[in-house]
Structure 1
Amino acid sequence: MKIAQSELEMSIRIFSHCRTAFRLASAMLLSWIMVEARAEEGFWLFSQAPVEEIASKYGVRLKPEWLDHLQKATVRFNSKRFDVYIGGSGSFVSADGLVLTNRHVIPRHVFALLDAPDRNIGRDGYVAHRTEEELKIPGLSLDAVVSGADVTERVVARVPVSAVGGDAERMRREMIAEIERGASSAPGTSAEVVALDAGARYILYVHRRYLDIRLVFAPEAAAAQRPDDHPAPAFDVALVRAYENDVPAHPQHFLRLSARTPAEGEPIFVGGAPTRSNRRVTVPELEAQRHVDLPHWVKAYARLHSRLAAFAAPGGEQARAVERLIAKTAFMRMIAEDRLASFQDERFYSARVAAERRVRDALAERNDAASLAAFETLDELWSERREDMFRGELLGLRGPPPWQKYVADLPFGLEFAPTLYSYGKTFLTLRRQRELPEESRMAGYREKDRADLESWLLDPEPVDLGIEAAHLASFFESVVEALGAEHPIARAALGGASPERRATELIRGTRLGDREFRRALYALDRADFDATSDPLLAALRDMEREESAIGEALRASESLLRSEGARARRAAASVAKDAAYPDATRTIRFGFGVVEGWSRGGATVPAFTPIGAYFARSDRDGSGETTPPRWSRHGERLDSAVTLDFVSTADVVAGHSGSATVDAEGRLVGVVFGPGATEGATASDCAYDAGKPRRAAHVAAAAVVEALASVYDAPHLVRELLRGDR
């Protein structure tokens, strides 16, 4: 059984950041080492696009007005779940506010809100044939760049050299707020000051914000899902329209669509809003990932996979019940293995070591003792705490709550924990959080989060106790391996029994699998909750008492990582100056590459997938992946030779989905929808090329025209796309 493509893409996005137990701290300390890059690497500020390099390599000289047009025609999607920006990109493609993006950029729960008794968008797709049929999308807005300016001098000038710590941060925030207030006086605009490299630079962006976004077209989910790596087919596109004052918006900048497919070897250019990246991972953190974190997770998921396979061995209903978890576990193991292989690539590792050495040498030459001390602190911290970092991740001591795992950046630990274990941990956390003032509660436990928490915690879906016992036994084995059998946490977990026996006893005895018991437990005050007898809750309480020491050490380390990492990052940015692209910050960026296939396992993977590939899909493996019904019905109308998808060497990461792909003339020839292959993409946040070819996958604009005309009976949209207006 395969996992749906949307879940695979979400898993890649979840783990597309250099994960540690210190997600917040990592965001501060990464992105500072300048590494010699391949020509296609990077998501550049439009003001720093490497035009000379592009001219030298491709013979294409991009003019300032060309770059300005692409930047201002590009939009970023603002949709949130659990206070987390899901992200995504798009571009205006007509003078009447039409925007082209990916179907998967619009969250599934949003499509569900648009469904009606006679409308099922997931099953049938949707086409608005008239303006009044365009459906308003709740909770979605778009931003388009109006202007950008470097305001570093203004921010830095506000903070005197003598100001440190909280005082300095307060002064920076006050200055940033003042700049933003002064820049966004025009109606319909918003201003945002973005810090690059932990405050080495500050860029002011003024955006036009479109709050009224309406669905114009979306294919059925089956058409958008790619069943495998490229060249497997996918038609992952959607059209929405921006409105202002209840009429279609009229953007000054939009991209004209071309039905011409770019040739192999032809340069293409990308405008999008990548969410985050960690391209300048420090050597000590990289070594912690290479030698501790990822090897542990490879073993943990291999062990879990083995236990689940043994559970499925009798076959029948038992095998069917566990097949989805087995598939998911195999995928998570593959992510860990692939990421580890990327980080162990010697060329990648040597480049990181050399780059960090150059930075430190430059700081030593200018006698910057404070910055060098920050690097030394980071060295010591990663060396001393890297085992505890993995342990904290395994035990779920850091990070968001488990019901947010599909929209947040999480460690492997929350994906690894069994369901009933997660329920129990959540109840223990909830009893403490309820006693705190609303403003002091952890994310996920505030009043505004209540509906989502209850939906997950009180889920009526039954839990298979046999699967839970096997899962918990594997979890306990990983705890013993990580901590040692005599560690207080391991002893509290096992209670003197073997992992398998202890897991069986706890799962047989607990009532947490009973939804009504969870409902009753949820309604109790702390005293009554603490008096409730349940073997799994009792074991978790014992573990919780012993976990406090690790938790306190993690919090102390996180604070140091944040402060010293920021200092090191600013210093390193001053060494690199403008020669390196900054990490992604959910702002509009520029990228480029060439249309090109690759070799895998001795075979050539072609650059192009024709529309005819849809009709080669079958259900031979039982995955349910067949030709979408609407495409089957209208297959005779289609030109099967038209290119559906193509791949390029452009550098894309999380948030690039929906990005415009244009040719040298600035005509839109495609839209980015993800990596060309899962292999190698799992480390894309940290490395463009770590021993494996990287490819970006694009839906061809030619396929958009062909499908709208021949499959979806939408000639009015074809006319608008080709003419640039309605």
Structure 2
Amino acid sequence: MKVTCMLGGSLRHLTLALSVIAVSMIPSTTTTTHGDEGMYLFNDLPRSLLQERYGFQPSDTWAEELRLASVRFNSGGSGSFVSSTGLVLTNHHVASDTLQKLSSEEHNLIKDGYLAKSHDEELKAPDLELNVLIEIEDVTDRINAAVTNTTNPDVSAKQRQGAIAAIESESLDQTGLRSDVVTLFGGARYHLYRYKKYTDVRLVWAPETAAAFFGGDADNFEYPRYNLDATLMRVYENGEPAKIDHFLRWSDTPVSDGDLIFVSGHPGRTQRIFTVEALEYLRDTRLPFVLDYLRRKEILFQQYQLEGNEASRRGRDELFGIQNARKAYTGMLAGLQDPQTIATRRGRQHRLITEASNNPQLRPLVSAWQEIAEIQKEKAAQLTRSVSLRSDLVQLAISILLLAKEDQKPNGDRLAEYTDASRESLLNRLTSPAPLYDDLQRVKLADEIALLLERRGMGDTLVQEVLAGRSPREVAAEIVDQSNLDDPEVRRQLIDGGVNAVLGSDDPAMRLARILEPEYRAYRAVDDQLSEREKQAYAKIAQVVTAIEGTGGYPDATFTLRLAFGTVKGYIENAAEIQPTTNFEGAFEHAAAHAGQDDFDLPESWMNAKDKIDLSTQLNFVSTADIIGGNSGSPVVNREGKLVGLIFDGNIQSLTSDYLYTDQQARAVSVSGVGIREALRTIYETESLANELGR
């Protein structure tokens, strides 16, 4: 699903900024899951359910091999090792952030694709980090013991964050592995995830956009599809291709209707057990607010791209992300606007509250629902108060300023993203050599300042300080033209110089960061307090659900590794039967049926190779697997653990999956593994790369 996730790159940063506060919700249970619903923890797999439903129970070895072959992209998405020499398979749209950063006016890798004919031609990504989950440790008791004050959200949040920072720092020191404490089941459980990091990642092959995003926006979130949304990268260690012990073998057999498949990936976030009031806030306030923002940015980037071919190239990745997010959020809102959605959830909520109210032990927990309702009102008041101007230069400046100041505090007192355990990944982003384009930066920053003015009004003290008698365009031009923060070496010197260098800098981007910082911290403090109160409330609701409906199931998504399962299966739409698979012949027929429409023009490489392609080869397929944004790039494997596909999208009916799973029409869309290999051999004429897959 192309609203990938949230951690790096233009689309990913945008999605994080717009996403609902990512509180992990209360557990679903085996009594309330439906069909093939479930994004299961790898340390709590649904073995009994799979045995009962499909006569299959994954062994420990099967699960471990799949876990260690699965990869998380910090640019927002998933992937997998597919060779012993470090090959990583993901989507073209997950890799697009890297493709954009590696492109230039002379070489447009997103549009034209890329193929390295040798290791020497593999292009190093400027700031990409891949994570492989090595182990999981339950640290719930330690964190709960540290939170001794549950009546004051400020105190409890500080205690909780201090305990989390200490655990992460100790783990990093002891193991050398990236260590992240993950909140699960609304705060009912905390797990420490340890990851091996790869930061030397190189581009091997990417198809043209015309192949990867064939059908364009018209076909996005639709099916049937005919996309080669795939890219291959390679991880290196010590300057050589990494030696990988755990990688996925490649299946030479296409999937068939009814086949059981599994998806191992990193779903970004879901809100399936949000209260009715939380969903109403999304429907009536949050999502309309987000959509207004996205439509504004879509027009802005469309206008910018009209300035010429180079502007079109520079703005392409962000415009794609904005348009994709706009379509996805439109589908989510439509689902919430269906009265039946809320009515169904209201019925379950009423039952839980009634049963809990009649139980003396559970009755004190019922107030949690009212607490969450009050929090939604406070969230609505916060919406227009954000001062996080979404401009690369300003974001870099604010991050450098906060890093310098947070470094002055004990590790446990810092903002979460500035702790010792997060430092290496943060520095990798802040010192990235990826290019920043002045013309695009001016356009983005001027619009962000104008939006700040529109939301707060000219009489606002902060607005007056930012403008200082100038227009938004004048402020943006001065900052972009005079700032040196586009130079990664300048950023590194500021970071190394510490708080004195940062506070003494006369760089205009740093001056703006210092103006924004007090308001940013005030906003962040309120946001963190709301998050802490919400976390405590949902933890109480978790106790009610567990007491009434039992235990089991899975927590909401947290951009951590999960296993989903389902079957290859078509569906009925508009009284027509949609077959579960497509092939190369269908792609050429689809192009011919839309002749004259640019988004349906297959690339020249495909047209030239048409006579060589086995047109009956499977290209895409759909399944009932439970996925969400962040699963993009996830491997799809069969019972034997062999790769049969690559998740790249969901159909339009799946866009309610943030808060409601259904398998009536909702489907996960994949590129077929046999289709990827056929394309490599016959279209891109790289037999050696095709043969390397799965070996």
TM-score band (shorter)? 0.7 to 0.9
Letter of the 2:52 partner, please give it.
S
Quick one: which of 158, 167, 170 aligns to 1:178? 170
Partner of 2:87: 98
Read off the aligned partner of 2:72 and give its amino acid letter. F
Q: How does 1:173-572 map to 2 (within 5 A)?
A: 173-182=165-174, 184=175, 189-226=177-214, 227=216, 228-229=219-220, 230-294=223-287, 335=328, 337-357=330-350, 359-360=352-353, 364=357, 365=359, 367=361, 371-383=365-377, 385=378, 388-389=381-382, 391-392=384-385, 397=387, 400-403=388-391, 458-459=438-439, 512=474, 515=477, 519=481, 558-572=527-541
- Return the offset for 1:564: 1.8
Alignment of 1:510-659 (within 5 A): 512=474, 515=477, 519=481, 558-574=527-543, 575-576=545-546, 578-615=551-588, 616-617=590-591, 620=595, 622-659=597-634
Residue 81 of structure 1 corresponds to none
CA distance in 1, matches of 2:577, 2:11: 24
Letter matched to residue 617 of structure 1 = A
Q: Find the counterpart in structure 1 of residue 39 from structure 2.
A: 43
Give the whole-Å Cα distance in 1 for the aligned partners of 2:59 and 2:38: 19
**Closer, same or farther in 2 for the Cα pair 1:475/1:233, shift >3 Å?**
farther
**Cα drift, residue 237 of structure 1:** 1.2
Q: Is the 8 A contact 2:24 2:555 kept in 1?
A: no
Report the equivalent of 1:89.
Answer: 78
Q: Aligned match of 2:109 in 108, 121, 137?
A: 121
Identity %: 28
CA deviation profile, 1:357-391 (whole Å, cap 9, x unmatched): 455456653635764444322223335x4653555
Correspondence for 2:681 among 690, 693, 709: 709
Report the Cα distance in structure 2 between the residues aligned to 1:260 and 1:150, rounded to whole angstroms. Answer: 39
SS at match of 2:204: strand
Preserved contact between residue 233 and residue 614 of structure 1 (Cα < 8 Å): yes
Are 2:680 and 1:697 aligned? no
CA deviations 1:518-558 (Å, max 9, x no partner) are 747999x999x9xxxxxxxxxxx9xx9xxx9x997x77763
Q: Evaluate the alpha carbon distance shift between residue 242 and residue 491 of structure 1 in structure 2; reply closer, same or farther with a 3 A threshold.
A: closer
State the alpha-carbon separation in 2 of the partners of residues 244 and 526 from structure 1. 37
TM-score (norm 1): 0.70
**Structure 2: distance between partners of 1:301 and 1:116:** 27
Distance of 2:650 and 2:58 partners within structure 1: 29
Distance in 2 separating the partners of 1:60 and 1:348: 33
Distance (whole Å) between structure 2 residues aligned to residue 198 and residue 653 of structure 1: 19
Structure 1 residues 492 and 30: alpha-carbon distance in aligned structure 2, compared to 1, 3 A threshold: farther
Q: How much does 1:607 deviate?
A: 1.7
Q: Quick one: distance in 1 between partners of 2:326 and 2:125?
A: 37
Instruction: Render the CA deviation track for 1:384-432: whole Å, top value 9, x for unaligned.
Output: x46535555xxx55xx32226xxxxxxxxxxxxxxxxxx9xx89x99xx
Q: Is the 8 A contact 1:45 1:581 kept in 2?
A: yes
1:93 partner amino acid:
V
Residues 127 and 429 in structure 2, CA contact (< 8 A), matched pair in contact too: no
- Shift, 1:70, TM fit: 4.4
Change (3 A) 1:286 1:225: same
The CA distance in 2 between the partners of 1:558 and 1:213, in whole Å, is 35
State the AA in 2 paired with 1:642: T
Aligned-pair CA distance for 1:354: 3.9
Alpha-carbon spacing, 1:334–1:701, altered in 2? closer, same or farther (3 Å)? closer
TM-score normalised to the size of structure 2? 0.72
- The separation in 2 between residues aligned to 1:621 and 1:175, in whole angstroms, is 59
Counterpart-to-counterpart distance in 1, 2:483 and 2:117: 51
Once residues 582 and 168 of structure 1 are traced to their aligned partners in structure 2, the CA distance between those partners, rounded to angstroms, is 20
Deviation at 1:666, TM superposition (A): 1.8
1:91–1:660 contact (8 Å) kept in structure 2: yes
Change (3 A) 1:614 1:307: closer
CA positional deviation for 1:624: 4.8
Deviation at 1:673, TM superposition (A): 1.1
Q: Deviations over 1:575-605 (max 9, x none)?
A: 4374231122232210011112233333333
Q: Distance in 1 between matches of 2:299 and 2:116?
A: 49
2:639 matched to 1:664? yes
Distance 2:329 2:274 in 1: 17
2:368 touches 2:538 (CA, 8 Å); kept in 1?
Answer: no
Cα displacement (A) at 1:14: 7.5
Matching residue's letter, 1:646: F
Check conservation: 1:142, 1:210, Cα contact below 8 A.
yes
Which residue does 2:48 correspond to in 1?
52
Match for residue 482 of structure 1?
A: none
Residue identity in the other structure for 2:87? L
Task: Provide closer, same or farther for how the CA distance between residues 513 and 6 of structure 1 changes in structure 2, counting only shifts above 3 A.
Answer: farther
More divergent stretch after superposition (352-361 vs 646-655): 352-361
What is the match of residue 720 of structure 1? 692
1:149 and 1:204 in contact (8 A); partners too: yes
Q: Verify the 8 A CA contact 1:375 1:568 in the aligned structure 2.
A: yes
Q: For the Cα contact (< 8 Å) 1:33–1:282, is it kept in 2?
A: no
CA gap 1:292/1:195 in 2 versus in 1, 3 angstroms:
closer
Decide whether the 8 Å contact of 1:595 with 1:649 is kept in 2.
yes
Structure 2: 5+ residue runs without aligned partners? 409-413, 419-425, 461-469, 486-503, 509-514
- CA shift for structure 1 position 330: 8.6
- C-alpha change, 1:282 and 1:521, in structure 2 (3 Å) is same
Further displaced range: 122-131 or 584-593: 122-131
Give ranges in structure 1 of 5+ residues lacking alignment.
79-84, 405-422, 480-488, 494-507, 530-540
Secondary structure of 1:572's aligned partner: helix
Distance in 2 between residues matched to 1:307 and 1:709, nearest whole Å: 41
Q: 1:283 to 1:333 in 2, by over 3 A?
A: same
- Identify the range of structure 1 (278-287 vs 168-177) with the bigger mean alpha-carbon deviation: 168-177
8 Å Cα contact 1:273-1:586 kept in structure 2: yes
Residues 1:135 and 2:123 aligned together = yes
Matches of 2:290 and 2:667 in 1, distance apart? Answer: 26
How far is the alpha carbon of 1:660 from its aligned partner?
A: 0.9
Opposite residue 233 of structure 2, the aligned amino acid is V
Query: What do residues 121-153 of structure 1 show as CA deviations (whole Å, max 9, x unaligned)?
Result: 334433334344433333333332333333334
In the superposition, relative to structure 1, how do residues 219 and 47 fare at CA in structure 2: closer, same or farther (>3 Å)? same
In 1: Cα distance, 2:557 partner to 2:204 partner:
30
Residue 76 of structure 1 is aligned with which of 62, 71, 74? 71
Which amino acid in structure 2 is aligned with residue 459 of structure 1?
D
AA aligned to 1:53 is L
Deviations 1:150-177 (A, max 9, x none): 3334544566689962345424543454
Q: CA RMSD in A?
A: 5.5
Give the aligned partner of residue 500 of structure 1: none
For the structure 1 residues 600 and 73, does the alpha-carbon distance in structure 2 shift closer, same or farther, using more than 3 Å as the test? same
Give me the whole-angstrom Cα distance separating, in 2, the residues matched to 1:276 and 1:437: 30
- Match of 1:645, SS state, is strand
